[in-house]
Amino acid sequence: MPRRPEGPPPPPVVARVRVRFAKRGRLRFLSHRDVARTFERALRRADVPMAYSAGFSPHPRISWLGAAPTGAASEAEYVELALAEHRQPRALGEALDAALPAGLDVVACALATATPLAELVDASRWRVRLPGVAPAALAAAVDALLARDLVEVERVIKDGHRRFDVRQAVVLMVCRAENDTCAILDTVVRHTTPAVRPDDMLTALCVVAGLRPPVPPEPLRLGQGRLLADGTVADPLMPDRDDAERLVGRIDA
């Protein structure tokens, strides 16, 4: 007969809260595992009444969504917390923000809806700053990529090398100029498998036009959510479209 943990079972889940947070500054170099550990410590310091899993090694019931790659800053990371007691989302968000280190900042907090969070997110908006790249060179590379139906790149994964198409994920891609020697790549991409990351997009631009930034790029995720018909990305925490667009922004903002 299998052993059972001693003591009473953990309290049931009575509420779920979704948190949008930002990863800024030097903390963009944290891995997802580092972010997860930091959040667990902050939840304890903030006295958030987390629900725990059953078994011999209970752990807080936390669900993560589409973490930004290490080295990328983000204004739109999401996590869902299962609570053993009801809490007002605004107060919970403020307490959690105070317990997190500067650079991991709570942006919004809301009660979860019946729709799973993963079903509310199918695209991301990225802005990649490219110091040392002339805007004209980036514009030419973007035009070359958008003219293609297929642009394959290769990425090393734990099981080896994998080739996949970047072009099918690109919804919108725009070149901007910060100055004569710094270009900005502003793009919306669908979430695919594997996910198309900023470094994959830059690899694709190199494939089609030989574009190679002389210094490391600076990627920033501005939003992720449901892709709308006009190419905007709606924030999954904000059901009102106008509010979502004010927060996430348009591709031409």
pLDDT at 54: 79
Mean per-residue pLDDT for 239-251? 41
pLDDT at 161 exceeding the cut of 90: no
Mean per-residue pLDDT for 173-198? 95
What's the token pair of residue 67? 């973490």
Q: Which letter, b or e, does each residue of 196-209 get, where b requires 16 or more Cβ atoms within 10 Å of its Cβ? A: bbbbbbbbbbebbb
pLDDT at 1 exceeding the cut of 80: no
Chain segment 60-69, per-residue pLDDT in tens: 999 999 899 9
CATH of 121-248, one of 3.40.1350, 3.40.50, 1.10.287, 3.30.70: 3.30.70
pLDDT at 168: 95
Dump the DSSP string for 108-125: EEEE--SS-GGGG--EEE
Chain segment 4-59, per-residue pLDDT in tens: 556 667 778 999 999 999 999 999 999 999 999 999 999 999 999 999 987 777 88
pLDDT at 245 exceeding the cut of 90: no
User: Which neighbouring-strand residues pair with 130?
Assistant: 183
pLDDT at 244 exceeding the cut of 90: no
Share the mean pLDDT of the chain: 90
Sign of CA dihedral 231, 232, 237, 240: negative
Task: Let me know: does 106 contact 21? Beta carbons within 8 Å.
Answer: yes
User: Which neighbouring-strand residues pair with 157?
Assistant: 160
pLDDT at 243 exceeding the cut of 70: no
- In sequence order, the 6+-apart residues with CB closer than 8 A to the CB of 57 are none
Chain segment 71-115, per-residue pLDDT in tens: 999 999 999 999 999 999 999 999 999 999 999 999 999 999 999
pLDDT at 149 exceeding the cut of 90: yes
Chain segment 122-144, per-residue pLDDT in tens: 999 999 999 999 999 999 999 99
Dump the DSSP string for 190-246: E--SSPPPHHHHHHHHHHHH----SS--EEEEEEEEEEPTTS-EE-TT--SHHHHHH
pLDDT at 246 exceeding the cut of 50: no
What's the pLDDT band for 231 if we cut at 50, 70, 90? confident
Cα 38 from Cα 43, distance rounded (Å): 9
CATH of 15-115, one of 3.30.70.580, 1.10.3720.10, 3.40.50.720, 3.30.565.10: 3.30.70.580
Delimiting residues of CATH 3.30.70.580 domain(s) in the chain:
15-115
pLDDT at 144: 98
pLDDT at 251: 36
Mean per-residue pLDDT for 226-248? 69
What's the token pair of residue 30? 């944290």
pLDDT at 248: 40
